[in-house]
Each structure stands twice: as structure tokens, then as C-alpha cells.
Amino acid sequence: MSSKQVWVTRDFLRCSGCRMCEISCSLSHEGRIWPEASRVRVFMYAPGIEFPHLCAQCHDYPCVEACPTKPKALSVDEKTGAVIVNREKCISCGNCIRACPGHVPFLHPKDNKATICDLCNGDPQCVKICREAGFDCLNVVKYDKGQGEALNYRVYARHPKAIAEGLTELMFGEKMEV
């Protein structure tokens, strides 16, 4: 069990836009309901085209690569594969945001430190509530280290605009300027 890494899959068409993932995430990490401090954020560039946006743990971790401090403020959790932020080391440069293909990380509204999904130490709270509600947009896949390369998880690290454009075409039957 402890050797398994976890990965949060997303089925965008099943996202209801309820944002209960944000409520659970921020309650768990901040003790408050705080949508803009939630590590998972639901984007809605067009109504009906809601989808959760969170770290996909790219196999090459460009955010960690781009972190300029020595030692790095960003590191990878051995067990889960999550990107862990050492808030004391973070200099709020925003390099990780720009390096991320999906621009997923953000600086925390309270202290301006880089904020990234930590996979709740292997038990993501966002997934729990999404499944409890039966929406099943978010799901957890567990896998052994080494198998990870076979999972093309970097596909989720995309700009929300690209995701939204694809979804508008799929759902509305035509492209929509978002």
C-alpha cells in the first residue's frame, strides 16, 4: 500500500460544477471554506463547461525543475508522487506557475506562497466528496512506481482554455469563444 503512488483522474463530462471539491479541499487544508485557496479549482469559462483543475503530477515535474531556490522549495513526495511545497523556502517568484503546462499552481491569497495539491497524503478529500455525491468526476487510481510512465497523466496539465474549447465543441456541437 505504502509503495503505491496515487493519481486523480478526471472525467470532465461528469463535473456538475458543484465545487464541493473546493469546499472539501479548503476545509481540509485551511479549516475554512475558501474557494481561491483550494488546491482544486473548478473553472467555468462558459457556464455548463465546468471542470476541476488540479495538479497532474507530470512525470518530469517541470514546476520542481523551475523552482530557483537552493535547496528547492518544491519537492516530490516519495510515497504519493505529490509536489510538496516548503513554504519557508518559497520566494513567491511564480516560476512554478509559468513552468506548469496547465498553470495549475498559484500563490496563496494569505501569504503569497506557492500552493499545489498534496494529494492529501494519498487520500484526496476532493475525490471523496465527488464520489459520495455520485458525480464521479474525480477518481483515484493507485499504481506501483515504475508503472507511472505508462500512464499519460500529463495530458491533464493543459491550459484551462484548451480544455474549455474542447468541451464547448463536444457539448454545444460548435466552437465557442471562451
Partner 1 sequence: MRGYAGKFAEINLTEEKVTEVRFDESTLRNYIGGRGLAAKILWDRLGERWDEIDPLGPENILLLLTGPMTGFYPGGRLCVSGKSPQSNGITGSTVAGEFPVELKCAGWDGLIITGKAKKPSYILVKDSSIEIRDATHVWGKDGKQTLLKLSKEVREEFDKKYRERLWREPGMVYIGPAGENKCRVAGVQAKWAHGAGYGGYGAVMGSKNLKAVLAKGTGPLPEVYDQAKMLELLDQVRKASIANDVWRRWGTGYLGYYVGNVQSSEPVKNWQEEWHDEKSFAVDQFESRVWVKRYWADFGCPTACEKLSVARCGEFKGAITDNPDYETQAYMGTNLGVFTPEANIFLNSVIEDLGFCGIQVGNVLGFAAELYQRGIITKDELDGVELKWGDAKAFAKVAEMIAHRRGLGDILAEGTYRAALKLGKIKNMNLLQYAVQAKGIGIGAHGIRSGLDYPQLHSYPCGAQGGDHTSVAYLPITHPSSEHTTILMDSGVYCMFNSFSVTPQFQIDFLNAVTGFNISFEEWYNEIASRVIAIQRAALLLGGPDAKWFGSDVNPPRFYEPLPTGPCKGKAPKLEDVEKMKSEYYKAVGWNEKGVPTSDTLKKLGLSNVDSVLKKKLGL
Residues that bind partner 1 in the complex, under the rule CB under 8 A? 13-14, 16-20, 23, 26-27, 30-37, 41-48, 92, 94, 97, 103-104, 106-107, 109, 112, 132-135, 159-160, 171-174, 176-178
Of 36 and 78, nearer to partner 1 (C-beta) is: 36
Residue carrying the nine cell digits 479548503: 26
Question: Which residue from 126, 141, 131, 167 is spatially nearest to 41, judged by alpha carbons?
Answer: 126
Write down the least CB distance from residue 117 to partner 1, Å: 14
Of 6 and 116, nearer to partner 1 (C-beta) is: 116
Of 101 and 148, nearer to partner 1 (C-beta) is: 101
Write down the least CB distance from residue 4 to partner 1, Å: 28
CA angle 34, 40, 44 (to 5 degrees): 90
Return d(Cα 108, Cα 35) in angstroms, integer. Answer: 11
Of 112 and 139, nearer to partner 1 (C-beta) is: 112
Write down the least CB distance from residue 15 to partner 1, Å: 9
CB atoms within 10 A of CB 4: 16
Of 151 and 171, nearer to partner 1 (C-beta) is: 171
Write down the least CB distance from residue 63 to partner 1, Å: 13
Write down the least CB distance from residue 135 to partner 1, Å: 6
